[in-house]
Amino acid sequence: MSTERPLILVTNDDGITAPGIRHLIKIMKQIGDVIVVAPDSPQSGMGHAITLNDNLYCDPLQLKEEENHQEYSCSGTPADCVKIAKQEILHRKPDLCVSGINHGSNSSINVIYSGTMSAAVEAGTEGIPAIGFSLLDYSLSANFEPTTKFIKSITNNVLENGLPEGVVLNVNFPKLEEKEIKGIKVCRQAKAHWVEKFDKRTNPQGRDYYWLTGEFINEDKGEDTDEWALKNGYVSLVPVQFDLTAHHTLKELNNWNLND
Amino acid sequence: MSTERPLILVTNDDGITAPGIRHLIKIMKQIGDVIVVAPDSPQSGMGHAITLNDNLYCDPLQLKEEENHQEYSCSGTPADCVKIAKQEILHRKPDLCVSGINHGSNSSINVIYSGTMSAAVEAGTEGIPAIGFSLLDYSLSANFEPTTKFIKSITNNVLENGLPEGVVLNVNFPKLEEKEIKGIKVCRQAKAHWVEKFDKRTNPQGRDYYWLTGEFINEDKGEDTDEWALKNGYVSLVPVQFDLTAHHTLKELNNWNLND
């Protein structure tokens, strides 16, 4: 690592005013020079959405004089924020992109729905080391203090070691006090899924509509998974790749009679 | 495969009226019993978005009397369509979910932005064999006829063989006549990325805004990639997994000093 302070892009999916990103900004300002480009409104569950059929606004915020960093509020998705930050706002490629701290879990299969992780993945595709942080507490008044020590440790490790090519980190925190947390555990994504339940209602005009809800089902008993780590008092750290090829199945599929 | 006709769920991300899904419905009706649940408007670039902060409408369409299948138009994303189909519309788990035919490429890194593929992945997480189909032609008047033979072959293979656990298929078609297509090639996802360009404009009120555009950059020279296959006249078939863990990096990350 050079003696220059690292340039750190901060974003999230809960919106630029969410307590989680405010906590993350505070930590990152102790480590490097911070620029924030985050959604102007909540974007939970946006997956890796990008804005193709609408225009994007991205406006600088007026911060208090004592703040020595810049923030931009963007009308788009988390992935849009990373794209516009890189092309239109930052004067050089950042040394790191951090996303979060999300209000709620992005462990296991939640990674594919996660706006928080989509920002990290987007940065990863552009060759920027990236980490998504999430706390297993959906409350707006969640206590983010216990995450501080671990976020610093993981961030410093990434700045020192870099990340393997094509990989970003998905970090989840249990809802515990700092002294209750046993440490950071490198994990694999648990094999779990959601069983949806739709809450069916009728609007005042007589038309039926639905609210999506659901139950998280984890059948994966492995002690090397993120779900196990979180349940047992650890911070989970999963290396996430965006080459989605199931390489182990290529041989089997080549035996199919596709071209007969 | 049982002698019963397979139950096939059809969806897409270009919206229920797009020519691509109309062609796919026509093919699937030759193979099985079809139920269509698709977005009521275009959802391109929606990635794996789901609708958490808004309600969902999902209404049956009135089809012509000679049509012997059902269609539902849904206000949500492609992933929402699969979820609501499974929970609220279908009376049993479908034997197959097909998504598309997308107007435009979902090869290489485009898979992570793709609403078409998010529907297939969503079905995959629920244990339903699933295939996303895309044609490298964005035009609304694209010619889908050359895809027919290959879609039938791939679909029949999936119905006969099933798919490996945790895997769905990402199939892309070159913009060629049927006789020019050399066959179906099992591939890996090419390592490529987008370099964004933002088209900056000023609205009538004097506020700056952006349109996202970009250039696709493929540095991957491998002849086993989807990009190579498509450029060389093949239909590309990539097995896609939703366990995003970079398993090959777990050992390296375990050597980090995370808990010091």
Task: Give, in order, the Cα–Cα distances in Å from A167 to each of A150, B215, B244.
Answer: 20, 22, 10
10 Å Cβ neighbour count for A209? Answer: 17
Q: Does A44 touch chain B (CB under 8 A)?
A: yes
Q: Which CATH number fits domain A7-189+222-245: 3.40.50.720, 3.40.50.2000, 3.40.1210.10, 2.40.128.20?
A: 3.40.1210.10
Instruction: Spell out the residues 6+ positions from residue B158 whose beta carbon is closer than 8 angstroms to its own.
Output: B96, B129, B131, B169
Per-residue tokens: B179? 């006789």
Scanning B186-225 for CB atoms below 8 A from A yields 186, 188-189, 191, 193-194, 196-198, 200-201, 207-212, 214
Mean per-residue pLDDT for A41-61? Answer: 86
Number of inter-chain CB pairs under 8 A, A vs B: 239
Q: Where do we find the tokens 């298929």?
A: B169
- Which residue ranges make up each domain of chain B? 7-189+223-254
Per-residue tokens: A185? 């555990």
Q: Measure the CA–CA gap between B103 and B16, rounded to whole angstroms.
A: 13
Radius of gyration of chain A (CA): 19
pLDDT digits (tens, 9 = 90+) for A83-109: 999 999 999 999 999 999 999 999 999
Per-residue confidence band for A57, with pLDDT thresholds at 50, 70 and 90: very high
Q: Measure the CA–CA gap between A149 and A27, rounded to whole angstroms.
A: 9
**Of the partner residues A79, A127, A161, the one whose CB lies closest to the CB of residue B256:** A161
Q: Does B15 touch chain A (CB under 8 A)?
A: no
Output b/e per residue, B123-138; b: 16+ Cβ within 10 A: bbbbebbbbbbbbbbe
**Of the partner residues B125, B210, B238, the one whose CB lies closest to the CB of residue A55:** B210
Do the beta carbons of residue B236 and residue B226 sit within 8 Å?
yes
10 Å Cβ neighbour count for A220? Answer: 16
User: In this model, does residue A223 exceed pLDDT 80?
Assistant: yes
Q: What is the pLDDT along chain B (260 residues), one digit of tens a residue?
A: 456 899 999 999 999 999 999 999 999 999 999 999 999 998 877 778 888 888 999 999 998 888 889 999 999 999 999 999 999 999 999 999 999 999 999 999 999 999 999 999 999 999 999 999 999 999 989 999 999 999 999 999 999 999 999 999 999 999 999 999 999 999 999 999 998 889 999 999 999 999 998 899 999 999 999 999 999 999 999 999 999 999 999 999 999 999 97
Contact list in A for residue B245 (CB cut-off 8 A) is 188-189, 238-241
Do the beta carbons of residue B216 and residue B194 sit within 8 Å?
yes
As for the ipTM of the complex, it is 0.90
Return the CATH number of the domain spanning residue range B7-189+223-254. 3.40.1210.10
Interface test with B, best of A40, A159, A235, A244 (most B CBs within 10 A): A244
**Of the partner residues A47, A86, A186, the one whose CB lies closest to the CB of residue B254:** A186
